[in-house]
Structure 1
Amino acid sequence: MPTSSPVYHEMKQILALHHQKSALVLGHLYLFISCLIDCSLTKTSSKHDENKEFYIREAINFVERNYEKAISVDDLAQVCNLNRHYFSRLFKEQMNISPQQFIIQYRLSEACELLKNTTKTLQEIAEEIGYSNQFNFSTAFKRHYQISPNRWRKIHK
């Protein structure tokens, strides 16, 4: 235990005052217990934050590995072993975007790579990134980028 820690300081005070008046020792004993609780809560809070980051990383990794399949928020919550509503709130809190929006953005960024680097049709790209048809893909693309996939391809080729 570092000698600069509040726990160490209070323990040292208690040992130095053990022969003094009991009220003084008792006061330092309460401070000592308070310091222990504070340290415990700090470690628990830190561990909780690490768990949050772990869950988000797990969800993102799942999307990266499975974006071409149908993925729901329920699937992501299940991967993390979390309740759907808690997972959604946690994801939004950590990423500033909903899980569903993240899935869409990830797929569309993959679509941009395919549009730029291949000659695949829009239907082929749509299927490759997890859309059931070209229309849904084009609608999502245009909503996100304010430009059609074909026009985007012409500009970026």
Structure 2
Amino acid sequence: MNNEYHTLSQNGIESNILFFGQEKCQPGYAFRGNNIRDNYVLHYILAGQGDFSVAGHKTVSLKAGDFFLLPKGVACFYQASFTNPWHYAWIGLTGIKIANIFAASKLAGNYYLKATGQSNFTKSFQRLFEVLHQKTSLANNLLVENLTYEMFYHLVTEFPHTNTAPSQNRPAQQFELAVRYLENNYTYNCTIEDLCVSLSLSRSYIYNLFQKFAHTSPQKLLTQMRMEDAKSKLTSSNQSIQEIADLVGYHDTFTFSKAFKRYSGYSPSTYRKHFS
């Protein structure tokens, strides 16, 4: 198969695959659409060659065995060779940890990797791309999640970014602590004020952290964690709506039901009926 494009349902918060595909480009083909992306798109060149550049960087020639990354929110340009056009596969990624993962690798800065050869990173990308074509099931979804993190593990261990000073990492570490706090406490009736007190940080500082690293507010992320957990419980358990509301941090069923409908477009009972 030379050309394909598939989209997936978005479920993850930390990292999630939105779409994947491949294309065997025509000579000189250049993408003419919106080159400022709302997510990250990792490309692996299967054959051929082409040119790639990101705003503020020089154009570089890449070939089979190389990777390039279309970064979120940054203009970029890529064009197939006129004599030996490339054939590449891609995986589109989003999630609150994706930016930090790429920042910890050599993809930070130049947004490409050359001559990855038989690296475990390359092998795990190829394996993940293969598994993404299999029929969706709980087992396959778990395998995709596992392979995604395996790929990231090999990326940051085989191709680490070694020039980041510890002081530059501090905001990222604070953000990670903030997310971990929400993950550990969203099932209780915790608030963003509780988060601020726990980390001894101001509300405005934490808001800016979330805007920088997750492009959302802490309150929206807290709500997303609760609602995604509620959706899972509604479709996989026989617990009452009142019990589920309490388990995801709402002690008032009416408030939970109102928030759930605003988030999903369905009342809890209707969602259970449609998606169980």
Gaps of 5+ in 2: 1-162
Partner of 2:206: 87
Q: How far is the alpha carbon of 1:49 from its aligned partner? A: 3.9
Other-structure match for 1:72: 191
Shift of 1:46: 4.4
Task: Name the amino acid aligned to 1:133.
Answer: D
Per the alignment, in what secondary structure is the counterpart of residue 147 of structure 1? coil
- Runs of 4+ in structure 1 deviating by more than 6 angstroms, as ranges, are none
**3-state SS, counterpart of residue 250 of structure 2:** coil
Q: Which residue of 1 aligns with 2:174?
A: 55
Q: Deviations over 1:21-67 (max 9, x none)?
A: xxxxxxxxxxxxxxxxxxxxxx7x74344212111111111111111
- Which of 142, 147, 155 is residue 261 of structure 2 equivalent to? 142
> In structure 2, how many angstroms separate the alpha carbons of the residues matched to 1:89 and 1:107?
22
Q: Does the alignment pair 1:151 with 2:274?
A: no
Q: Structure 2 counterpart of 1:76, which letter?
A: L
Query: How far did residue 107 of structure 1 move?
Result: 0.4
**Greater CA radius of gyration, 1 or 2?**
1
Q: Tell me what 2:239 maps to.
A: 120
Which of 76-85 and 117-126 deviates more?
A: 76-85
CA distance in 2 between partners of 1:134 and 1:48 (Å)? 44
The 1:147/1:66 distance shift into structure 2, 3 A limit, reads: same
Residue 90 of structure 1 aligns with an amino acid whose one-letter code is: L
User: How far 1:156 sits from its partner (Å)?
Assistant: 1.4
Alignment pair present for 1:106 and 2:236: no
1:93, CA displacement in angstroms?
A: 2.1
Q: 1:73·1:88 contact (CA, 8 Å) conserved in 2? A: no
Q: Return the alpha-carbon distance in structure 1 between the equivalents of residues 273 and 230 of structure 2.
A: 14
Question: How far apart are the structure 1 equivalents of 2:259 and 2:215?
Answer: 20
2:179 aligns to what SS in structure 1?
helix
TM-score w.r.t. length of structure 1: 0.67
| 2:248 matched residue in structure 1 | 129
CA distance in 1, matches of 2:255, 2:233: 17
> SS at the partner of 2:188?
coil
CA distance in 2, matches of 1:46, 1:100: 30
Distance 1:149 1:136 in 2: 12
Contact kept in structure 2, 1:114 and 1:125, CA below 8 Å: yes
Rounded to whole Å, the distance in 2 between the matches of 1:141 and 1:100 is 14
Partner of 2:126: none
- The alpha carbon displacement at 1:110 in A equals 0.5
Aligned to 1:30: none
| 8 Å CA contact retained: 1:58, 1:79 | no
Report the count of equivalent residues: 114
Alpha-carbon distance in structure 2 between the residues aligned to 1:108 and 1:76? 19
Sort the Cα spacing of 1:54 and 1:106 in 2 relative to 1 into closer, same or farther, 3 A. same
TM-score (norm: length of structure 2): 0.39
CA distance in 1, matches of 2:262, 2:165: 39
What are the within-5 Å matches in structure 2 for residues 3-82 of structure 1? 46-82=165-201
